[in-house]
Structure 1
Amino acid sequence: MAVMALSSFSMLISCQQNEKQSQDNPNGKPKYFDLPDYFQKEIDLLSKANPEIEKTVSKDDLEETKRLKIKDWELEFSSFKNIDLNKSAYAEFIQVDSANNVLQYSFNNPKSDLSCVRIEMDSLGQPKIISIQRDVVNNLYHTAEFLVYEKGKYYLVEKKQDVKVMGDNQYRVLGNF
């Protein structure tokens, strides 16, 4: 728990320290890392492997932990798969920084729902840890979302919603492989 909190804190700090770099878009391939494609491949692998995980679900002060096999990885990873850095809405607002096997995308548009996406690569250049910070604000609600996926170890989805009229809600899903 402390490791995840420290990870969250360090991500927030590092998302504020970026330099703009340009990226090429050769042959019509995605300009930035293709998160939907990556997570579809992970969904396919996990669906075939059918691993048993320890899943903890929390809502506000209630928490439950079970060992189980996920029946629908597509649904389980939908929050991750729906993040697409190559959406035209983000095109002019992404700042890219890379150092020490970490690729970081920060968003300099206050209206953007994404704040920061960090991808830590392993020694072979493959994604090892992906963390995503989202913040959606409109007249009806405010949702802050933090997603982390460490390949072969765990995934985390944390959401805090403040809905006018209905109040605050906090959700947390942690799956350990």
Structure 2
Amino acid sequence: MYWFKPFQKYTIYAGVLLLLGSGYACNKPEIKETGAELQYFDLKGYFGKQDTLLTQQNPDVNKTVNHNGATESKNVHISSWKKELNLFIESDINKPAWKQSYDVQSNNDSTVYKAKFPELKTREIVIRKKAGQVTQIAIVNRTHNILYNTTERLIYAPKAYYLIEKMQRVKIMGANNYHIKGSFIN
């Protein structure tokens, strides 16, 4: 079938183009790309700026990790702040579907976001400010289902420390508790 060979070549090209095009079409645009105004504090943007700042400053960090009671502490350089602060970034609540899903309470020095519905993973975010600058971000995340329950408590204080506490209960395997604290040295 000599006549089929040119068509086979074009079929492969068309298939590759179709795959690339469908993959691109399935990507959801970010809120910033759609021009929509953010409803809540921009955690993703804030921690993106912190990632850039901390990468430039390259501070030493005294990192203490506790897993089920076993503790280890050492001074380290963080090679990827984006990875290190990923749980904070993933707690962003500015998704179009969640536009009316959080109660907001503000005063002079803090803003509190509380989830209205129990199925939302991010339960609470507290942003503390002093003279217009963020001094602390505290986040509580919870995931509950038939197999496991997870609670995360995250705290970030710029130029001071970050804290990640994770309590996980898996029905068959039992409990796991993590406590990670990174204190900025310089």
Alignment map for 1:128-139 (pairs within 5 Å): 128-139=135-146
Q: Which has the larger radius of gyration?
A: 2
1:102 is the counterpart of 2:101: no
The one of 19, 37, 44 aligned to 1:36? 44
Could you tell me which runs of 5 or more consecutive residues in structure 1 were left unpaired when the two chains were aligned.
1-26
In the alignment, the residues of structure 1 paired with residue 46 and residue 78 of structure 2 have an alpha-carbon distance, to the nearest angstrom, of: 19
Among all aligned residue pairs of Structure 1 and Structure 2, give the percentage whose two residues are the same amino acid.
37
1:61 is the counterpart of 2:69: yes
> Could you tell me how far 1:120 is from its partner in structure 2?
0.4
The one of 161, 166, 169 aligned to 1:159? 166
TM-score by length of 1: 0.82
Considering fraction of residues, name the structure with more helix: 2
In the alignment, the residues of structure 2 paired with residue 92 and residue 29 of structure 1 have an alpha-carbon distance, to the nearest angstrom, of: 13
> Could you tell me how far 1:72 is from its partner in structure 2?
1.2
The one of 126, 145, 148 aligned to 2:152? 145
> Could you tell me how far 1:87 is from its partner in structure 2?
1.5
The one of 120, 126, 137 aligned to 2:133? 126
1:84 is the counterpart of 2:92: yes
1:174 is the counterpart of 2:162: no
Please tell me the residue identity of whatever aligns with 2:162.
Y
SS at match of 1:28: coil
Please tell me the residue identity of whatever aligns with 1:121.
K
Please tell me the residue identity of whatever aligns with 1:140.
L
In the alignment, the residues of structure 2 paired with residue 39 and residue 52 of structure 1 have an alpha-carbon distance, to the nearest angstrom, of: 18
Q: Compute the RMSD of aligned alpha carbons.
A: 1.1
Which residue does the alignment assign to 2:79?
71
Residues 137-172 of structure 1: per-residue CA shift (max 9 Å, x gap): 011110000000001000000000001100000001
TM-score by length of 2: 0.78
> Could you tell me how far 1:44 is from its partner in structure 2?
0.7
In the alignment, the residues of structure 1 paired with residue 101 and residue 79 of structure 2 have an alpha-carbon distance, to the nearest angstrom, of: 37
Report how many residues are paired: 150
SS at match of 2:92: coil
Cα pair 2:124 2:140 within 8 Å, conserved: yes
> Could you tell me how far 1:89 is from its partner in structure 2?
4.0
Could you tell me which runs of 5 or more consecutive residues in structure 2 were left unpaired when the two chains were aligned.
1-34
SS at match of 2:100: coil
